[in-house]
Chain A
Amino acid sequence: MNSHTLIPTVQLHGDFKQRARGALGDAQLRQNFRSAMDSLMAKRASAFSDADERERLRALGNQIRARALSKLPELLERLEQNLTRNGVHVHWAETVDEANAIVLEIARAHEARQVIKGKSMVSEEMEMNHFLAERGIECLESDMGEYIVQLDNEKPSHIIMPAIHKNAGQVASLFHDKLGVEYTKDVDQLIQIGRRTLRRKFFEADIGVSGVNFAVAETGTLLLVENEGNGRMSTTVPAVHIAVTGIEKVVENLRDTVPLLSLLTRSALGQPITTYVNMISGPRKADELDGPQEVHLVLLDNGRSQAFADSELRQTLNCIRCGACMNHCPVYTRIGGHAYGEVYPGPIGKIITPHLVGLDKVPDHPSASSLCGACGEVCPVKIPIPSILRRLREENVKAPNDPHQVMRGQGSKYSPRERLAWKAWRTLYTTPALYRLFSFFATRLGGLTPSKLGPWTEHHVAPIPAKRSLHELARQHLEGK
C-alpha cells in the first residue's frame, strides 16, 4: 500500500467548525449515526435494567480506577515485573515516535513483511499502519469495522464501531470496488467476504498487534475483549504478538477486572459479556503447541502523564473506552466521529485529545458541547466529563503570563479584549450603583443595540432590552400596592 493512499478521503481539512458544518449537511451520515446511537442507547439501557445495581457498580468501577491511578507508578512496575517473569518483553515509550520505533525494531528483528492487527485505539494514536507501510511493512486491520475503514482509506468514526458512519450499501460498493467481489448488500455475505479475505491474512502474518483492555499488575495478565475472534487470531496465530497500550490501563488485582468487564460490555454494547474474554499472561511455553513465541507490551505515555499531574484532569484516565459517552452525546450523534478530526471523538475525545496533541491544536473541542451532562451521567467509571470540559475552557483562555502551567497549548484562545470585557462585566454586576446606572441607560437606549452581535446574530436576532428593567417594574409593583 502506498503512503498516499492512506490519506483519509473524508474531509479532514479545515477546522472543527467547518467539518461539523459539512457533517450536519450530510443527510446520509446523520441518518447512519442517529439510528446507530439510538440503538446503542436502548441496548445499554436494557442491559442496566436495575438502576440501583448500575449506580453501585459505577461507584465501584470509579473506585477501582481511582485506586489504580492513585498508585500508578507502583502498579506499572509490578505489572512489568510480573509480565517479565512470565516471559513478556515490556517496553516504555514517552511519545508515539518512540512507540513506533519499538514496533519497527521488533518487526525488523523478525524480518516481518506483514502485520495483522486486532483493534487498538493506541495504534491509531501512533498511526502505526501508516508508519509501517512507509517502511515496506503491510499492516492490515482485522476487526471488520476497522478493515472496512482501512479499505476506504478512512479513519474510525467511533471507538467501538469504527465503520458506523457507513451503511450496508456503502460497504457493498466498497467491497465490490476494492475486492472485486459481486455487489451484495446482504450483511451476512459481506461479513463472510471479510472473513475469507482476512483468514488468509491471519495465516500469513508475521506479527500480530493488539490493544489491551485491562493490564493486571497482580498476575501480569493482558485482558482483551472482543466479539469477532480477530483479537484471539491476532494474538495467537502469528509468531510474535505486540500489544500496545496507554500507561493508564493497568488495574491492581485480577478481581478488579470483574466489575470493570461488566461495566465495559454493558455500557458499550448492552451485552452481558463479549463473545471472547482473552486473558494473555505469556508467550508459548516449551511444552505448548501454539501461541506466539514472543509477546511484547509497549506502554505508551503520549501526554497521559500531563493529565495525570492535575488531580481533576487525572480523572480523564479513568476511561475504559466503552464509547457510551459518544453514544449519548447530542453533538456527536449529529456530527459523527470524523468531524472531531482526531483519534478519539465525542466527549471522551474532547477531554483526552488536548493532552495527546496540545490544547492549541483542538481549541474548539472544549466548547463543542452543550454541557447537557449526558456523558457524565452514563460514564461507567464516573468521569465528570462536563466539569472537565469547563475546566478545559478555562485552560483555553488562560493568560500567557499565568504562572500555573497545566497543559501544553493552554491559553491559545486568550484574548485581552475578552478578558477586559469580563472584568467590566464583573465590576458592573458587583457594584449596585453602577448596575442601576447601566440598566437605566440600557433600557432607555435599547433601540441603539447593534443588529450584528458576533456569532450570536449568525443564528439569532439581536436581543433588544425591555423598556423597563425588572428592578424598576418590581419597585413600581410594590409601590402600587
Chain B
Amino acid sequence: MSAKANILAKLKNSLAGTTPIRDEFDESLVTQPWSYPADQRIARLRQLMEAVHGETHLTSLAEWPALLERLLGERGIDRLLVAPSTPHGQQFSAHCQQAGSPLTLKAYDRPIEEWKAELFDATPASLTGTLGGIAATGSLILWPTREEPRLMSLVPPLHIALLKASQVYDNFYEVQQKMQWSAGMPTNALLVSGPSKTADIEQVLAYGAHGPKDLIVLILEDA
C-alpha cells in the first residue's frame, strides 16, 4: 500500500463511528471587535503601520507622483522599478517626463531568470499598487500580477505601495468575503504589514531583515 493509502486508512479507522463536528463559525468574533467608523479606518491603519516603521503619507490621486518624486529625491534614489502598463505606472512616468525628473524608470517586463542579478543588485526601489488595506491589522493586500510580479514588492530595499483610501477595509474576514477569495485564489496573495523585521537576536527589533528595509505607503484620497 502507498503511504497515502496507509495514512488515510489509519485516520479513517480512528474516526469510525464518529460524526464530524458541525461548522459553528461565529463571524461576529472576527468582525465586531475589528470594525471602525469610516473616518477612523485610515487613522488606525496609519497608526499600526507606523508602529512597525512603515512610513505613510496622505495624498491625493493628482498629487502623489510629485510627492513620490520628492521622497525618492530626498533618499538619493535614482532608479525605480515601476509597471509601465498600469494606470499608476503611466501616471508616474508622465509626471516624470513633464517634470524633467532625472529618475530612471525600469520595468519588470521579462522573466526573473533574465535579469535576476539586476533585480537583486541594482534595483533600489519599486512602486506597486495594492488591492486595498486592512484597518484592524494595518495591512496592505497584494495580489501580484504579470505587471507587478511577486518579487517586485520583496527584493528592492525600498517598496512604495499605493493605497486608495476608499479601499481600506475593516478586517481580513471582510476582505475575504467582499472579494470572494474562496471562489479562487491567485498564485500568490499577500498581506504586508510593514517593512521586513526580526527580533531573533535577544528579542531586539531590527528592521530590514530579508525583505524591504523601508515601506512607504501613499494613501490616495479621491478628492
Stretch touching chain B among A275-283, A358-366, A459-467: A275-283
Instruction: Using A162-B200, A305-B11 as known contacts, say yes or no to A219 and B184 having CB atoms under 8 A apart.
Output: yes
A383 is an interface residue with CB less than 8 A from chain B: no
Contact of B154 among A232, A273, A301 (CB under 8 A): A232
Instruction: Using A57-B29, A191-B198, A272-B137 as known contacts, say yes or no to A93 and B211 having CB atoms under 8 A apart.
Output: no
- Chain B residues near A53 (CB-CB < 8 A): 29, 33
CB distance from A458 to the nearest CB of B (A): 35
**How far does the alpha carbon of A290 sit from the alpha carbon of B113 in the complex, in Å?**
8
Stretch touching chain B among A258-266, A372-380, A426-434: A258-266
CB-CB contacts below 8 Å: A309-364 with B: 309, 314
A255 is an interface residue with CB less than 8 A from chain B: yes
B65 is an interface residue with CB less than 8 A from chain A: no
- Chain B residues near A188 (CB-CB < 8 A): 206
**How far does the alpha carbon of A434 sit from the alpha carbon of B216 in the complex, in Å?**
80
A171 touches B7 (CB 8 A): no
CB distance from B171 to the nearest CB of A (A): 8
Contact of A254 among B21, B150, B182, B193 (CB under 8 A): B182
A64 is an interface residue with CB less than 8 A from chain B: yes
CB distance from A387 to the nearest CB of B (A): 20
- Chain A residues near B150 (CB-CB < 8 A): 232, 236, 290-291
B176 touches A255 (CB 8 A): yes
| Residue among A93, A272, A283, A314 with most chain B CB within 10 A | A272
- Chain A residues near B33 (CB-CB < 8 A): 50, 53
Contact of B23 among A32, A67, A259 (CB under 8 A): A67
Contact of B30 among A192, A258, A314 (CB under 8 A): A258
- Chain B residues near A26 (CB-CB < 8 A): none
B contacts with A, residue count (CB < 8 A) = 78
Residue of A nearest to B182 (CB): A254
- Chain B residues near A72 (CB-CB < 8 A): 11, 15
B10 touches A305 (CB 8 A): yes
- Chain A residues near B181 (CB-CB < 8 A): 219, 254
Residue of B nearest to A64 (CB): B25
- Chain A residues near B198 (CB-CB < 8 A): 144-145, 191, 227-228
A73 touches B15 (CB 8 A): yes
**How far does the alpha carbon of A40 sit from the alpha carbon of B202 in the complex, in Å?**
11
A412 is an interface residue with CB less than 8 A from chain B: no
Residue of B nearest to A230 (CB): B210
A474 is an interface residue with CB less than 8 A from chain B: no
CB distance from A169 to the nearest CB of B (A): 9
A289 touches B112 (CB 8 A): yes
- Chain A residues near B20 (CB-CB < 8 A): 67, 70-71, 74
> Please, what's the 1-or-0 string for A15-36, where 1 marks a CB less than 8 Å from any CB in chain B?
0000000000000000010011
A284 touches B187 (CB 8 A): yes
Residue of B nearest to A282 (CB): B187
B200 touches A283 (CB 8 A): no
**How far does the alpha carbon of A321 sit from the alpha carbon of B118 in the complex, in Å?**
38
A145 touches B203 (CB 8 A): no
Residue of B nearest to A68 (CB): B21
A291 touches B187 (CB 8 A): yes
CB distance from A280 to the nearest CB of B (A): 6
> Please, what's the 1-or-0 string for B45-86, where 1 marks a CB less than 8 Å from any CB in chain A?
000100010000000000000000000000000000000000
Instruction: Using A219-B182, A261-B172 as known contacts, say yes or no to A187 and B201 having CB atoms under 8 A apart.
Output: yes
Residue of B nearest to A99 (CB): B3
A142 is an interface residue with CB less than 8 A from chain B: yes
Contact of A275 among B12, B13, B26, B52 (CB under 8 A): B52
A168 touches B204 (CB 8 A): yes
**How far does the alpha carbon of A36 sit from the alpha carbon of B204 in the complex, in Å?**
10
A236 touches B211 (CB 8 A): no
CB-CB contacts below 8 Å: B140-163 with A: 146, 149-151, 154
A229 touches B154 (CB 8 A): yes
B6 is an interface residue with CB less than 8 A from chain A: yes
B39 is an interface residue with CB less than 8 A from chain A: no
- Chain A residues near B192 (CB-CB < 8 A): 275-276
> Please, what's the 1-or-0 string for B185-201, where 1 marks a CB less than 8 Å from any CB in chain A?
11111111111111111
A228 touches B14 (CB 8 A): no
B146 touches A229 (CB 8 A): no
Contact of A255 among B21, B139, B151, B173 (CB under 8 A): B173
A288 is an interface residue with CB less than 8 A from chain B: yes
**How far does the alpha carbon of A145 sit from the alpha carbon of B177 in the complex, in Å?**
36
- Chain A residues near B196 (CB-CB < 8 A): 227-229, 275-276
B189 touches A273 (CB 8 A): no
**How far does the alpha carbon of A312 sit from the alpha carbon of B116 in the complex, in Å?**
51
7 further interface pairs, Cβ-Cβ under 8 Å (given A280-B188, A289-B111):
A32-B202, A77-B8, A195-B208, A219-B182, A255-B173, A275-B193, A290-B151
CB distance from B119 to the nearest CB of A (A): 9
Instruction: Using A142-B210, A161-B200, A236-B151 as known contacts, say yes or no to A278 and B188 having CB atoms under 8 A apart.
Output: yes
A94 is an interface residue with CB less than 8 A from chain B: yes
20 pairs from A and B in contact (CB 8 Å cutoff): A53-B29, A63-B21, A72-B15, A94-B3, A163-B200, A163-B201, A166-B201, A187-B204, A202-B210, A203-B116, A219-B185, A227-B198, A227-B209, A229-B210, A255-B177, A275-B197, A282-B187, A289-B149, A291-B149, A309-B10
A138 is an interface residue with CB less than 8 A from chain B: no
**How far does the alpha carbon of A262 sit from the alpha carbon of B19 in the complex, in Å?**
28
**How far does the alpha carbon of A70 sit from the alpha carbon of B11 in the complex, in Å?**
10
